[in-house]
Chain A
C-alpha cells in the first residue's frame, strides 16, 4: 500500500479515492457550485476552504448524494456515484458529518453508535432478536476511540456541543468508511475544543488509514493538518495545491488571506 503522505508530497503512485469532475450546482439562476473538479487520493488529508457562502456545504452535499448535481460526475473508488441515493453511497465506504450537528437526539450515545453498526453490518432487517445484544464490543471500542465512553448512557441531545460533534464523527466512523467527509468539523467550537477535535481527527485518520476531505473556515486548522487544499470562491475553484502553494497564491491572498 502506498504511503499517503509520500504520495501526496511526491505526487507519485497515487490511488484516487474520490474524483469530482466538472461538477455544477444551480439553484434557480444562482450557481452555488460552478464547474469544480477535485481529486482526493488514498489516505490523503484534503481540505476545501473559502469564505462563508462560497459553496462548500453545497459541494459536500453533491458528493454525498444529498443533492443532485446539475452537471458533472462524481466517482468513488472508480464507481460512478452521481445521483446515487445516500444510503447506498454510505455502503460504498463514504461516511460524512454535517455542518449543523446531526445525531439521533433522543437515543443514548451508545444507541446512536450501535444503530449505525446495526445498519452497516446488514442487521437492520432483523426483526426477531433483541437489538441491544448486538455489537456491544464494537460500539464500546468506537466510543473509546472518539472519547465518549464515559458518556455512553447519556442521551445524545443533552451532550455539550463539542461532544455532539464527536458523536457525529462516531456515527460516520461506525460504517467503517475509507473516505470521511467532514463539513466544518470545528464549527462553533472554542479554541481548546478545536485543538482537541483536530488532534482526535488526525489520530483517527492515521489509525484507520482514512482518506479525509473536510471544509473549514479556520485557517490555522487547515494549514496544520491538510496536505492538499482547494479554495472555493463564489462557487468556483480559484486555487488548489499544498498549503504552501495555496498560501502563496496571489488571488487567494487577495480574497481570503488578506484579512489575516
Chain B
C-alpha cells in the first residue's frame, strides 16, 4: 500500500515550525499562551509514559513537576546558578524523589498504587507549604530571574524580540528535545516492555519481565521529565508556589492526557493545547469558569472516549474508506 500525500507530510516538523514562528505574530498574549502550552505539553507527555505506555494511573504527578520547579527556582534565585544547570538539577531532583517514592508505589497495584502516589504528593505539598525558610511557604518563591538570554538578540533574525519571546524560544527547544527523547523511549524495547505490563502484568512476568523494576524505571523517567517541565514553568511564571504540587495540578495533567487521547503519543499535546485555550477563553467570559470548563470537559470525554486524537483518527479512517465506515473488528 502506497502512503498518501497526507501521510507523507512530516506533521510534527510542520507544527514545530509553526510553533517556532509564533513570536513573529508580535503578540505578547500568543507567546504567553504558546509558552504555557509547550511547557505543560512536556508535563503531559511525561505523564503519558505512565498512563498510556505502562497503564499506571498516578494521582500525584504534580509532585515531580513542583519539585523540579522548586529546585530550579531556588538555585537560580538564591544561588545564582546558571539556567541550564538549574534546569538539569530540577529534573534530577524530581527523578530522585520519583525513585524514592516510586520504590514504594510500584509495590502496590491499581487503585492502591494511585492512592499512594497521591499520598506522597500531598506530603510533599504539605512540606513545601509549611517550610517557610526554604520554600517561602504559602508566599512561594518569587521573583525568579529570567535566564540571561540577551545573547539570542545577536543571532541574525532574532533581534528586537521581548524577553518573554526569547524565553519561549529556549523553552520550546528544551521541550522539543525532551519530547523527542520521550518519543524514542516509548518506541524502544523498554517502551515495548511497558506496553506488555499495561496489557497484562501477569503474563509479562511469566515471559520474564521484572514488572516492578520496569514500572519503577518508568516512574523515575516520567518524574524527571515532569521536573524539567516544572522548572521551565517556574521561570515562565516568574515564581514557584505550592499550588504547583497540589492535587488539582495532578488532576489537570490526567485530564489533559485523557482529553487528547492517552493511546496516542501526541494525544497529551493536543489535550494540553485544548485545555489551556479553553481555560483562557472561558476565564475571559465568565466568573463561573470552573463550572463551564467542567461541563465542556464532561461532554468532550463522553463524546470522544478515545480522546480528541482518537476521534480524529476514527473520522479520518472513515473518510478514507469512502464513508463505508470503519472496518468492523479490525
Contact = CB atoms under 8 A, between A and B. Distances in A.
Interface of A: 64, 66, 85-87, 90-91, 95-96, 98, 102-107, 111, 114-116, 118-120, 123-132, 134, 158, 171-172, 174-175
Interface in B183-201: 184-185, 187-193, 195-196, 199-200
B205 A87 contact: yes
B209 interface: yes
Question: How would you classify the secondary structure of chain B's contact residues: helix, strand, loop or mixed?
Answer: helix
A91 B184 contact: no
Interface string B199-226: 1101111111111001001000100000
Contacts of A129: 188-189
Contacts of A132: 187
A87 B185 CA distance: 22
A115 B205 contact: no
A131 B208 contact: no
Contacts of A106: 199
Given A104-B199, A107-B199, A115-B193, A126 B210 contact: no
Nearest to B221: A127
Contacts of B221: 127
B196 A125 contact: no
A127 B190 contact: yes
B329 interface: yes
A130 B187 contact: yes
Nearest to A105: B199
Contact of A115 (B185, B207, B329): B207
Contact of B191 (A116, A127, A158): A127
17 contacts: A87-B206, A90-B206, A96-B206, A98-B203, A102-B200, A114-B192, A115-B196, A118-B192, A120-B207, A120-B208, A124-B189, A125-B189, A125-B190, A129-B188, A131-B191, A158-B329, A174-B207
Contacts of B207: 90, 115-116, 119-120, 171-172, 174-175
A86 B189 contact: no
A85 B202 CA distance: 12
The 7 closest A-B pairs by CB, nearest first: A127-B190, A104-B199, A90-B208, A131-B192, A116-B207, A86-B205, A126-B189
Given A86-B206, A87-B208, 6 more contacts: A86-B205, A95-B206, A103-B200, A125-B189, A127-B188, A175-B207
Interface of B: 184-185, 187-193, 195-196, 199-200, 202-211, 214, 217, 221, 329
Point out which of A98, A106, A131, A175 has the most chain B C-beta atoms below 10 A from its C-beta: A131
Contacts of B205: 85-87, 90
Contacts of A172: 206-207
Contacts of B206: 64, 66, 86-87, 90, 95-96, 102, 171-172
Contacts of A123: 189
Contacts of B192: 111, 114-115, 118, 124, 131
Given A90-B207, A127-B185, A104 B195 contact: yes
Contact of A128 (B188, B195, B199, B208): B188
Nearest to B199: A104
Contacts of A107: 195-196, 199
B189 A131 contact: yes
A158 to B, nearest CB: 6
Nearest to A126: B189
Contacts of A115: 192-193, 195-196, 207
A115 B203 CA distance: 11
B213 to A, nearest CB: 9
Contact of A124 (B193, B200, B202, B329): B193
A71 to B, nearest CB: 24
Contact of B203 (A102, A125, A126): A102
Contact of B202 (A91, A102, A114, A116): A102
Contacts of B200: 102-105
A50 B232 CA distance: 64
A249 B46 CA distance: 63
Contacts of A116: 207-208
Contact of A118 (B185, B189, B202): B189
A125 B206 CA distance: 17
Contacts of B202: 66, 102
A111 B189 CA distance: 11
Nearest to A94: B206
A119 B209 contact: yes
Nearest to B206: A86
Point out which of B189, B190, B202, B205 has the most chain A C-beta atoms below 10 A from its C-beta: B189
A174 B206 CA distance: 11
A127 B214 CA distance: 11
A115 B196 CA distance: 8
Nearest to B329: A158
A86 B212 CA distance: 12
Contacts of B184: 127-128
A172 B191 CA distance: 21
Contacts of B190: 124-127
Nearest to B211: A87
A38 B204 CA distance: 27
